[in-house]
Structure 1
Amino acid sequence: MSFVEMVEMVDILKRADYDGKHGPYSNPNVRNAKIMAKVMKNLQKTFGVRRSKDQLRKRWSDFKLREQDQYRRIQRVL
């Protein structure tokens, strides 16, 4: 996954509040699935790459837990 793709993914997930930090939501699993589908569609349209929801979900988790330095770099770009 290229850096530009990662920036795009993080931007969408942050704008849509994927982690649910800004309040309790009804049906959080359905909400997160819709957000991830939106990310998939956007990456396909913009970059022509097809990634599964599971791949993107794992990548997001890795950013927050394992690759925090890269996550900070992306945050600076945004």
Structure 2
Amino acid sequence: MTANLVDKGIIGKNLPYIWQTGGEMLLVSALGLLVGQRLRTMLFAKVLTFSDDVSLMQPAVTLVFSLTNVGIVFWAAA
């Protein structure tokens, strides 16, 4: 799109084409910002939910790993 803006608009001295293409580029950029903001908000909410779930599982996982380590040490010592 930028190459066409330079080739057809600037080099061709086509001012209406420059304005039209520039407007389209601004519109695409604005839509990208809006969609990106919404996507980041949804993703951040998902990460927070995942973090809460993991933090609730943390004690159980730690207990399982600790008991596994103790079992390995006893088994190796026998």
Structure with the larger helix share: 2
TM-score, shorter chain, exceeding 0.5 = no
Question: Highest CA radius of gyration, 1 or 2?
Answer: 2
Q: Which has the higher contact order (CA 8 A, sep 6+)?
A: 1
TM-score by length of 2: 0.28
TM-score by length of 1: 0.28
